[in-house]
Structure 1
Amino acid sequence: MMNDNNIKNAFKAGIWYTISTLLVKSISIISTPLYTRLMSTADYGISATFNTWYALLFIICSLNVGYSIGRAKIDFKDDFDNYIGALQIICACITSILFGIIFLFFPQMKSLIGLDKTAVICLYIYVLFGTVVSIYQGKYRFLYQYKQNIVISVFISIATVIFSLLFIVILPQKYMGKIVGTTLPMLILGIMFWIVAIKNKTLSIKKEYYTYALAFSIPLIVHSLSIYVLGQSDRLMIKYFCGDHFVGIYSLIYQYAILITLITNSINQAWNPWFHDNYALKNYELIKEKVIPLIAFGCYIGIGCIAVAPEAIKILGGEQYMSGLQAVLPIALGVVIEFVYTQYVIIEMHLKKTTYVSIGTVVAAIINVLLNYLCIPRFGYIAAAYTTLVSYFMLLMMHHFISRKVLGVHIYKDKLIYAMLTITVLTGIILSNLYYHIFIRYIIIVGISVVFLVYNKEFIIDKIRRKSR
């Protein structure tokens, strides 16, 4: 149980993380129309492929050691900085070994990777220093040093836009301009953190740190890779079956739809610590009561995202991306369902049944890949959005079953939760069929907003009062 001071620090950090996330995402949204107008859809697709490979290789090269930082702060409280230094060495070694193999067999792997050698060199730099930056962000997060974390996030966001626009204009290959611009900020920060570690002599080779980090983190690699497959593999398979042009369109649509996670992630940052504390105190009725308005809010944000999609896509990408509009509905619904199933996952986490978390994610990832393989060649790139939706729904079903039938936990109003999801799906379908009737569409969303505010006014007033204290 956290003391009052830690609760205040956590709450303050949560508010500032939310603000900084909104700021960083706003910068990303504002810059997206610039990228899409300076780059072809194929160039935009190649840069998206670069980011997709980064997400995969980050998991492999970091070995998920960042997951161990929170617990290590307690177990190594007197030499926490040395532990962080040990994580730096682990990530640097794994990254260099893996990319050494990639460069050695690059002629054979080039068609699989889908990037030229210069882009892969940038990818190596990005992963090498990106893992280090992530480790320090984890350190600052668990020490409640949110100011340092915010500075890092804002710097990366602003510098990436500036460098990317500069190099897109300068370089003949526009996708390389975006890739170089993305890599440079991470290179600058990574070098800085290495200099700090060397100066402070915290680069430890103590065996205890390595065994601790690897024992804690390696079992979670399967889970992280499966999450990656669910979130990223669709773009790789679209590239393989349809080409870079359609990867570019799908990536922009996906980037828009997952804006919902700005809100849902902020909710979870505040909800998760509160849930753990109250579950430990057996305040089950309180949890049952409080989770409903949170899920309702997530559903409302999802509906709003679907409702304004035509105008948003036109602003972000222009007419050349409007053909992907029909992918917004399934992607947005998938994100909402993801938010709901995490409420069941947190039960498994609290009870330390993390094996169930991995099993569910692996099964969903396998289903996603198989459905993509079968459906994308037949129905086109839009099929990837629907296969992802199906996979997330499978995850919800599995974690619901695990929490109720396997673990015997009954703390949610499940029927009400599924009723809210059903209403969200039906409303989303109606709105997506009104994309060319803007007036009717906005009348509906205004009406939904009024209903939401009326039914949740007590919850909203309570949150406002808490923030004003």
Structure 2
Amino acid sequence: MKDDYTERRKIMTGRNSNIISKKLLVKTSFWYIISNFLTRAMSFITIPIFTRLMTKGEYGDFSVFASWQSIFLIICGVEIYATLNRARFDYEEGEYLNSYITSCLLLSTLITTVMLGVYLLFPHFFDQLFLLDRKYILIMFAYLYAQPAFQMFQAKQRIEYRYKFSAALSFIMIIGSTLIAVGLVYFLDEDKLLGRILGQYVPYVFVGLILYVYFLRKSITYMKGSWKYALALGIPLVFSFLGSQILLTADRVVVKQIGTSEEVAWLVLAASCTHIVLIFVQSLNNAWAPWLFDKLKIEAYSEVRKTFRVYMWFIVFCTFCVLLIGPEIVKVLGGKGYQQSIYVLPANMLSGIFTALSSQFVNLETYHKKTHYAAFFTLIVAVMNVVGDVIGVLIFGYQAACYVTVICQLILIFMHYVATQRLEVQMIVPVKDMTAILGISVAFIPASLILYRNTVIRIGFIMAIFVVGCTIIVIKRQELTKLIRKFRSSK
């Protein structure tokens, strides 16, 4: 850990920045991706267990709970962990940064307490809004108190490039919580939903509280001006991430209100398949963001542009590969009762590509302290998405919600791109690259639906990709060997 931290300091002082930062990007990307895939692998392995142990209604209700939890975590946490990427440039490392972190956690606790007070004053109103029993909501608030400390700890590990411990902690947490959830769902016959929620979230409550105490011991000093700084960056990010969360989850909440729990379950299973790509995207972005900020600091636009181009096309390729085996994934995860999920899978899967692209704009805006762009645009698009979901579901059925989300995400990307013209976005994401990525991605929807009806042709595509991939590996074996050796030597 000490060596990686020393390397990061060298980047900041400009010494060997190109060579060292590339090594760090490769290493952090590798460990974050491996960690997230290993941790999420447990979630995917247990999806068939949960879909068979729980009714479709219970499975759908858990997704609704998770959606509300994600929304309130963004509000109560004020996205303070996301401000750390920028705060590290404005606060010295060590005591000042630790005081900033503690001050932010106290702010999050205060906001959560206010939200809990409002809920306790009007419990019946919120129970009708959430369509969930009160005991589940109280568990959610316990999670809201503790999780910001966990997020902040992981964020601090990332900016210090201490990737191994961060990866190990994530892996241990997801393994433990998932196994506990499976056990409780199996044994709590009368309330399997309670078992799933307790097992999935309570372990994070305990670990979050431990990390909260850890930060208090590092520094219990409130830093004057830190709340103002955190809120100035965090509130716009709240609207941005809240809008993004609405884009990803509004469909199931709307369908829960208008449609049936079964339809919610079909959407949820499709979203679970989408997580294969989203996990990869989020893992890369966690490693990418600190590296990008360092590169922007030294105005290395050409290097960022070349790296991001490879990054985006790789995500597009991986998305298409996953789509090709979509019917098989749905069959394994959900069984025959979830076959309807196939028809909303392609539109759902594009979320990974759109998220990767829009995250680039948000990172750029955050670096230049223009987070209000993301807040304004995402809020507008989120409202459009909810209204579009209601109209689409009423007229065309639950499937329309996925296509409304695709349209809204495209609008959001366009708005971001126009707004970041003054922030040298063309130096990082040329318009021709963005147009090509979006055009090919949207074409995946009709192409996939056609291939799903022609199994022989679809299998032919899979075999062709496999043959081409093996051929490239053979032809480029020397380059790949050198890359692996370089990576091993950098460790």
TM-score (norm 2): 0.85
Instruction: Please report how far the alpha carbon of residue 412 of structure 1 lies from its aligned counterpart in structure 2 after TM superposition.
Output: 4.4
Look up the equivalent residue of 2:263 and give its one-letter code.
F
User: Within the alignment, does 1:254 sit opposite 2:271 as a pair?
Assistant: yes
User: Within the alignment, does 1:221 sit opposite 2:233 as a pair?
Assistant: no
Instruction: Please report how far the alpha carbon of residue 266 of structure 1 lies from its aligned counterpart in structure 2 after TM superposition.
Output: 3.8
Find the partner of 2:49 among 25, 34, 39.
34
Are residues 323 and 54 of structure 1, via their aligned partners in 2, closer, same or farther at CA, if it must alter by over 3 Å?
same
Instruction: Please report how far the alpha carbon of residue 347 of structure 1 lies from its aligned counterpart in structure 2 after TM superposition.
Output: 4.6
Instruction: Please report how far the alpha carbon of residue 376 of structure 1 lies from its aligned counterpart in structure 2 after TM superposition.
Output: 1.1
Instruction: Please report how far the alpha carbon of residue 274 of structure 1 lies from its aligned counterpart in structure 2 after TM superposition.
Output: 5.3
- 1:176 corresponds to which residue? 194
Find the partner of 2:65 among 28, 50, 58.
50
Are residues 16 and 360 of structure 1, via their aligned partners in 2, closer, same or farther at CA, if it must alter by over 3 Å?
same
1:275-307 Cα offsets, whole Å, 9 max, x none, are 555556565555554443332212111111211
1:154-174 Cα offsets, whole Å, 9 max, x none, are 122111112111211222111
User: Within the alignment, does 1:444 sit opposite 2:461 as a pair?
Assistant: yes
- 1:236 corresponds to which residue? 253
Are residues 247 and 423 of structure 1, via their aligned partners in 2, closer, same or farther at CA, if it must alter by over 3 Å?
same
1:321-375 Cα offsets, whole Å, 9 max, x none, are 1112111111112332332344455554455443333333223212211211211
- 2:5 corresponds to which residue? none
- 1:368 corresponds to which residue? 385
Q: Distance in 1 between matches of 2:466 and 2:438?
A: 16
Instruction: Please report how far the alpha carbon of residue 202 of structure 1 lies from its aligned counterpart in structure 2 after TM superposition.
Output: 3.0
- 1:139 corresponds to which residue? 156
Contact 1:89 1:203 in 2 (8 A): no
- 1:327 corresponds to which residue? 344
Instruction: Please report how far the alpha carbon of residue 420 of structure 1 lies from its aligned counterpart in structure 2 after TM superposition.
Output: 4.5
Look up the equivalent residue of 1:77 and give its one-letter code.
E
The range that moved more, 157-166 or 266-275, is 266-275
The range that moved more, 439-448 or 163-172, is 439-448
The range that moved more, 425-434 or 185-194, is 425-434
Find the partner of 1:67 among 60, 73, 82.
82
Find the partner of 1:305 among 303, 322, 328.
322
Contact 2:54 2:192 in 1 (8 A): yes
Contact 2:393 2:400 in 1 (8 A): yes
Contact 2:277 2:349 in 1 (8 A): yes
Find the partner of 1:384 among 392, 397, 401.
401
Are residues 201 and 342 of structure 1, via their aligned partners in 2, closer, same or farther at CA, if it must alter by over 3 Å?
closer
The range that moved more, 12-21 or 75-84, is 75-84
User: Within the alignment, does 1:196 sit opposite 2:225 as a pair?
Assistant: no
Instruction: Please report how far the alpha carbon of residue 50 of structure 1 lies from its aligned counterpart in structure 2 after TM superposition.
Output: 1.2
- 1:151 corresponds to which residue? 168
Instruction: Please report how far the alpha carbon of residue 254 of structure 1 lies from its aligned counterpart in structure 2 after TM superposition.
Output: 0.6
Give SS of 2:426's match: coil
Are residues 40 and 406 of structure 1, via their aligned partners in 2, closer, same or farther at CA, if it must alter by over 3 Å?
same
The range that moved more, 42-51 or 82-91, is 82-91
- 1:20 corresponds to which residue? 35
Instruction: Please report how far the alpha carbon of residue 270 of structure 1 lies from its aligned counterpart in structure 2 after TM superposition.
Output: 5.1
Alignment of 1:285-296 (within 5 A): 287-296=304-313
Are residues 279 and 447 of structure 1, via their aligned partners in 2, closer, same or farther at CA, if it must alter by over 3 Å?
farther
Are residues 435 and 21 of structure 1, via their aligned partners in 2, closer, same or farther at CA, if it must alter by over 3 Å?
same
Are residues 233 and 39 of structure 1, via their aligned partners in 2, closer, same or farther at CA, if it must alter by over 3 Å?
same
Instruction: Please report how far the alpha carbon of residue 424 of structure 1 lies from its aligned counterpart in structure 2 after TM superposition.
Output: 3.9
Q: Distance in 1 between matches of 2:441 and 2:245?
A: 26
Find the partner of 2:332 among 311, 315, 331.
315
Instruction: Please report how far the alpha carbon of residue 42 of structure 1 lies from its aligned counterpart in structure 2 after TM superposition.
Output: 0.4
Give SS of 1:258's match: helix
Instruction: Please report how far the alpha carbon of residue 62 of structure 1 lies from its aligned counterpart in structure 2 after TM superposition.
Output: 1.1
Look up the equivalent residue of 2:435 and give its one-letter code.
Y
User: Within the alignment, does 1:77 sit opposite 2:97 as a pair?
Assistant: no
- 1:209 corresponds to which residue? 226
1:388-422 Cα offsets, whole Å, 9 max, x none, are 11111112222333345896836545335433443
Are residues 284 and 451 of structure 1, via their aligned partners in 2, closer, same or farther at CA, if it must alter by over 3 Å?
farther
Give SS of 1:409's match: helix
Q: Distance in 1 between matches of 2:300 and 2:149?
A: 39
Q: Distance in 2 between matches of 1:351 and 1:448?
A: 41
Contact 2:98 2:219 in 1 (8 A): yes
Look up the equivalent residue of 1:22 and give its one-letter code.
F
Q: Distance in 2 between matches of 1:73 and 1:281?
A: 16
Look up the equivalent residue of 1:178 and give its one-letter code.
R
Are residues 432 and 449 of structure 1, via their aligned partners in 2, closer, same or farther at CA, if it must alter by over 3 Å?
farther
Contact 2:381 2:412 in 1 (8 A): yes
- 1:186 corresponds to which residue? 204
Q: Distance in 1 between matches of 2:431 and 2:457?
A: 32
Q: Distance in 1 between matches of 2:193 and 2:370?
A: 43
Look up the equivalent residue of 1:219 and give its one-letter code.
P
Look up the equivalent residue of 1:193 and give its one-letter code.
L
Contact 2:281 2:355 in 1 (8 A): no
The range that moved more, 368-377 or 76-85, is 76-85
Q: Distance in 1 between matches of 2:87 and 2:433?
A: 39
Aligned CA-pair RMSD: 3.0
Contact 1:163 1:184 in 2 (8 A): no
Are residues 217 and 353 of structure 1, via their aligned partners in 2, closer, same or farther at CA, if it must alter by over 3 Å?
closer
Give SS of 1:144's match: coil
Q: Distance in 1 between matches of 2:427 and 2:212?
A: 48
**Which consecutive residues of structure 2, in runs of 5 or more, have no partner in the other structure?**
1-10
Q: Distance in 2 between matches of 1:357 and 1:286?
A: 25
Q: Distance in 1 between matches of 2:115 and 2:453?
A: 49
Are residues 446 and 398 of structure 1, via their aligned partners in 2, closer, same or farther at CA, if it must alter by over 3 Å?
farther
Q: Distance in 1 between matches of 2:225 and 2:362?
A: 31
Give SS of 1:203's match: coil
Contact 2:237 2:374 in 1 (8 A): no
Q: Distance in 1 between matches of 2:240 and 2:468?
A: 38
Q: Distance in 2 between matches of 1:183 and 1:57?
A: 14
User: Within the alignment, does 1:121 sit opposite 2:138 as a pair?
Assistant: yes
- 1:467 corresponds to which residue? 487
The range that moved more, 238-247 or 425-434, is 425-434
The range that moved more, 451-460 or 157-166, is 451-460
TM-score (norm 1): 0.89
